[in-house]
Amino acid sequence: MSTLRLLALCVVLMATIFDCALSEPKRYRVVHTGSTFYIETEQKYNWFQALHECARRGYKLAELQDKQKTLDLELVMQSYLDKPFNLWLGANDEFNTKQDYKRSFYWSFSGKRMTYSNWSRDNPDNYKSNEHCVHIWTERERFAWNDLDCTKKLGYVCEDKPSKASS
């Protein structure tokens, strides 16, 4: 009888561990500088849906406001991604219709104007006056940014929102 109880206890324990493992988000990475990213590659979303998915999880679409944070994300992507993906970032041009390489882009969560960028060659180009959202390429120009139609379906990169103590 005690063997049966022990076996039942093991099954319950294994099920609990397995359930906890499944309920934890799978794609978190923390690098030496403290940056934390969540990368979704399995499901595809337009930019607005990606923004919502990050918020639903308590995060924001990634804001790569300096070279170090960009390098942090590149390090995560190099070690994590086994094939190329295009992933939404948290910037847009507020639907500016100018085909101007120098038009302003803004980070959606903080509202800050983008002062640092890692644009791919000849971008942002606002092709057909319909590219207003920013994504990172992992295939074409490795980790460079591109402006794209916000309704295209891609994966995305979230990051932690700043804590109230640090704001």
d(CA 88, CA 86): 7
Query: Which structure tokens are listed for 44?
Result: 């595809």
C-alpha closest to that of 131 among 115, 153, 116, 152: 152
| In-domain check, residue 14 | no
Which pLDDT belongs to residue 163? 65
d(CA 95, CA 55): 21
Count other C-beta atoms under 10 Å from residue 155's C-beta. Answer: 21
Query: Which structure tokens are listed for 149?
Result: 């139609």
- Asked if residue 35 lies in contact with residue 73, where contact means CB atoms within 8 angstroms, the answer is yes
Domain count for the chain: 1
| In-domain check, residue 166 | no
The CATH number that applies at residue 112 is 3.10.100.10
Beta-ladder partners of 145: 119, 136
| In-domain check, residue 2 | no
Beta-ladder partners of 134: 147
| In-domain check, residue 43 | yes
- Asked if residue 118 lies in contact with residue 105, where contact means CB atoms within 8 angstroms, the answer is no
Of all helices (H) and strands (E), which one includes residue 5?
Answer: helix 2-23
| In-domain check, residue 44 | yes
User: What are the mean pLDDT values of the chain's consecutive 10-residue runs (167 residues total)?
Assistant: 44 37 45 80 95 95 94 86 89 82 90 96 90 90 92 95 60
Domain span at residue 35 reads 24-160
Q: Could you tell me the sign of the dihedral formed by the alpha carbons of 71, 157, 107, 124, in that order?
A: positive
64 contacts: CB under 8 Å, gap ≥ 6: 70, 73, 89, 116, 118
| In-domain check, residue 9 | no
The structure's pTM equals: 0.78
| In-domain check, residue 167 | no
| In-domain check, residue 13 | no
